Amino acid sequence: MKFTYITGETPLDGYTIKRGLGRGGFGEVYFAVSDVGKEVALKKVDFMDADRGDNLVLNIRHPHLVQLFDIKHDDQQSESWIIMEYMSGKSLRDVLTQQPEGLTRDEASAWFFAIASGVHRLHLNGFVHRDLKPGNIFQSEGDVKVGDYGLSKLISHSQRNNHTRAIGTCRYMAPEIGKGNYGNQIDIYALGIMLFELLTGDIPFDGECDAEILTKHLTEAPDLTKVPLEYQSAIRKALEKDAGKRYQNVVDMMLDVPEPNYELVPGFNRAQLPKEYYKGNRSTPTTSLPPVLVSPSQPESKPRVPTLEAVPVIESSPASLPETSLRNRKYEPPTVGHGKPPTWIDVAKGELAKKDKSQRLSELTSSMIRAVVGTGAATTLLFAIFIQTPEFRHKPLSSLESTQWFIWLMSVTLLSSWAVLILGKFWESSDTEDGPKRVVMFAVGAGLGTLHLTIGNFLQLDFHDLHSGISYWPWVMEHWKFAAGESPALAHYAVFTGLLFALCRWWSHVTPVRTSQYDLMGAFLFALVAWFLPVAPQPLMPGVTALTLIVIQFSAPNFTAQQRKEFEAIATGWWQNG
């Protein structure tokens, strides 16, 4: 990487460049030494003429913020130099590059709590970072610090674009930034992105270009399947599209994130957390503490964590207090009758019930799109196999008839899949008994049968083209049979399709708590029911029924084996400790 200045040059009076450190969106960064030997980092940016109010960011002091010492200008007033604390360690971006699968949970939480504490202090002082990303987070001698805070505001002010300037990095950029009307919640959104990346090594919204990424920020819900269960609710809320639905302050998010076990994170100093964090039902660490500083306005019986805002008054803190975190917080599972221990399914349904309408709609939309793809493949396979069977080779179909039948079969499969996916999404966290579900499924099936027959009549299909009368069973009433050139009776289709949907437990193949993605034995049994009823045309419809179920299984999400283990651990822990 080529820098403007080389070792030994003194572009700013009183400081000698030692080497270049990097180049970011706002300028070049150098490691330099002052005339008296103080090591600093110098950031070279375009000339800034910020006002006194903006320069107040220089007065912020916090253990998790890179300290800004001063802003100076060269003699020609062409360049500005931000003099800041030198961080000798790695950036979070370097760490994530070395660990592309993500960090351990304790490591991720340790990074998060330090970053969040620094961001909280910025917000208390009336500043929004506006460019939170791993490249702006640094670790040195066990301390994690947030850098480049306030710079976007200082620089954009000097360029007279102020609040509407396009700022931030698109992969960490909240949806409302493009509108130019935003607040602290854009930093909370970026914290959610970084916590996701810390745990998985990936970002939730990525693409081939900035436009694609920004579109996903605006429209897509994050896929949290790779995120450990205990972190999902915090990330989900932090990444709400509507800023009003996000956490309104950083501490609220911190309270929903599991605390790290620092004994498992070597080389990491314990984060200094804001006092508001402990007021939010998290207690102080279980270690002996020295006397702490408290404000005289507070009752003497309430210990506080040292903060720079407090007026120094010495008071002794208790030797230890119980530590509270998500790991040892009691889980409150759904009610289970008769004193039965909860199962992983009970825990999973409790998590499913926490989803909001927008997330359910997003998941349903994704499933329905997958159903279109699955239906196309399934119909092509079924039609290719079926018309080659010996029974139907003697009555080949014309090109027009083949096209009409293909459209009808695809419509039947797709509409049936969509209906089951919609009902399944509605029932995914429900404990409704099978009886009411079967009644609903009969009504839906009867409506689908009517629609299927209507589409067939519209396409002017002759159902005898692909129908074998010998497949009828003796209990089928004579007037429900149909002759060549005729269509099946509407009652036939409405009743038999309704029975097909009522007798089979379609909803159990949509729920995310099913034990596997695909159930081929279930598809075989569903086909058997379609054969025994029977639903015309036979024996094509049993194949359609089986493939429809497989399309549904392909389209509907389900919990991974790892997630099921986490649910089991929570259920077992609650029952043993609860």
Distance, first Cα to last Cα, the chain: 58
**Which phi and psi angles does 61 have, rounded to 5°?**
-125, 130
Bigger pLDDT: 375 or 181?
Answer: 375
Domain 92-264 belongs to what topology?
Answer: Transferase(Phosphotransferase); domain 1 (1.10.510)
Strands (E), 294-361: 314-315
pLDDT band per the 50, 70, 90 thresholds, residue 101 = very high
C-alpha span between 359 and 59 (Å, rounded):
42
pLDDT band per the 50, 70, 90 thresholds, residue 257 = very high
Q: Which of 175, 192, 186, 171 is nearest to 235 (CA)?
A: 192
Structural domain boundaries in the chain: 15-85, 92-264, 287-329, 351-555
Q: What is the mean pLDDT of the chain?
A: 78
Strands 68-73 and 27-34: unpaired
pLDDT 10s digits, 532-558: 876 767 777 888 999 999 999 999 988
C-alpha span between 179 and 166 (Å, rounded):
9
Domain 15-85 belongs to what topology?
Answer: Phosphorylase Kinase; domain 1 (3.30.200)
C-alpha 142 chain-centroid distance: 30
Span 67-86, average pLDDT = 81
pLDDT (0 to 100) of residue 247: 94
C-alpha span between 100 and 559 (Å, rounded):
23
C-alpha 503 chain-centroid distance: 36
pLDDT 10s digits, 129-185: 888 999 889 998 889 999 887 555 544 444 444 444 444 578 999 988 877 778 889
pLDDT value at 118 more than 80: yes
pLDDT 10s digits, 498-535: 999 999 999 999 988 888 889 999 999 998 888 887 67
Q: For the full predicted model, state whether its pTM sits above 0.85.
A: no
pLDDT (0 to 100) of residue 428: 83
pLDDT value at 104 more than 90: yes
Strands 292-293 and 79-85: unpaired
pLDDT 10s digits, 264-322: 888 888 888 888 887 765 555 544 333 333 333 334 334 434 443 333 333 333 333 33
